[in-house]
Amino acid sequence: MTPSGTYEAAGVALDAMEGLKDRIKAFAGITHGPQVLDGGGGFAGLFALDAIDEPVLVASTDGVGTKLKIAAQLGHFEGVGQDLVTLNVNDILTKGARPLFFLDYVSFSVLDEHRLEMLMRGIVWGCREVGCALIGGETAQLPGVYSDADFDLAGFVVGIASRSQLLDGSAVKPGDRLIGIPSSGVHTNGFSLVRHVFGVDEDPTVLHRRVPGLNRNLGDELMVRHRAYHPLLAPYLPQMKALSHITGGGLPGKVPAVLPPDVAAEFRLGSWAIPPIFGAVQQAGGISDAEMYRVFNMGLGMVAVCDAAGADAVLQGVPDAVDVGQIVGRADEARAIFRNA
């Protein structure tokens, strides 16, 4: 019997945590190159910067939201580990940066070594996909903060860009074209609404069933990975004036955020394919078109703003890129306009 006056009796397994450190260090080492100066451990990671012209560090932090609930109900954790890296790297990509290093934060109520190992595998796979080093992180036990089955997951990425190559949208003007890069599905935003309309919390077995319009089980569809855009788009950043990662807020919220105040984004509805999952969500919840576009990516994970020559280069080089609209002068309060093709 564990004595009552110990940390373990309070719900924190220090011995188990210590035993995990070497395994986590080994996972991280898979992502290391010569720029990582310390193999891990201690209080901080060390990373040697490249000598580039006018270097600017670009940083982002985010989590995967309530997609964690779906992952826990299905027991699929590698995917959300990869998602964590992907979505943060996608964010710094919008500034024209390449990722350097990544740190993770995982917190449990009750330490689950199997779950942690799967998460770490996913994080390592995500880092390797984008050429990013995992140089540190934190695994915490917070008994009483979460229920026994719940956990939280957050990530932090630092990248680098030359000041002259930063994407800031300042050169965007009417006549520039909007080039959309398709999403792989819901990605990591809107899951609270998805869970609500399908009643997932009340009846998790719905995740193992097919719903109208889908060719696979709902859970399999929802766990599709957030698409990684850095390997695909990095070669074409010089052809772009602005780049938007379509996450919470959707096209109406995220594209205007990278535009000058005197222009608007005009989208041609029907010019890109909307994955069936969005129709299934809309039908299940009786959701308006406006709300769908405000919450979800609706099939576009990234939108680039390019001049004519840049647009042609991206369309020719990125296999599934689509011309989805143009930049117009702003006539009223609307920053995003949707017109039928």
Helix (H, G, I), strand (E, B) or coil at 332: coil
Report pLDDT for 178. 98
Torsion of CA 268, 269, 271, 272, to 10 degrees: 130
CA distance linking residue 58 with residue 29, whole number of Å: 23
Strand order in the sheet with 55-63: 55-63, 151-162, 98-108, 133-141
Reported as type and span, the H/E element at residue 311 is helix 308-317
pLDDT, the chain, mean = 90
CATH architecture of structural domain 14-44+52-165: 2-Layer Sandwich (3.30)
Q: Which of 3-12, 138-147, 229-238 is the least confident region?
A: 3-12
Q: Delimit the CATH 3.30.1330.10 region(s) of the chain.
A: 14-44+52-165
Report pLDDT for 19. 58
Q: Which of 53-57, 137-141, 228-232 is the least confident region?
A: 137-141
pLDDT tens figures, 28-44: 788 888 888 875 456 78
Q: Delimit the CATH 3.90.650.10 region(s) of the chain.
A: 177-340
What letters, b where the CB count within 10 A reaches 16 and e where it falls short, cover 42-55?
eeebebeeeeeeee
Report pLDDT for 282. 97
The matching CATH number, chosen from 3.90.650.10, 3.30.499.10, 3.30.1360.120, 3.40.50.620, for 177-340 is 3.90.650.10
Average pLDDT over residues 49-67: 91
How does residue 48 score in pLDDT terms, banded at 50, 70 and 90? confident
CA distance linking residue 239 with residue 307, whole number of Å: 8
CA distance linking residue 173 with residue 96, whole number of Å: 19
Q: pTM to 2 decimals? A: 0.90
Q: By the 8 A CB rule, do 148 and 110 touch?
A: yes
pLDDT tens figures, 263-288: 999 999 999 999 999 999 999 999 99
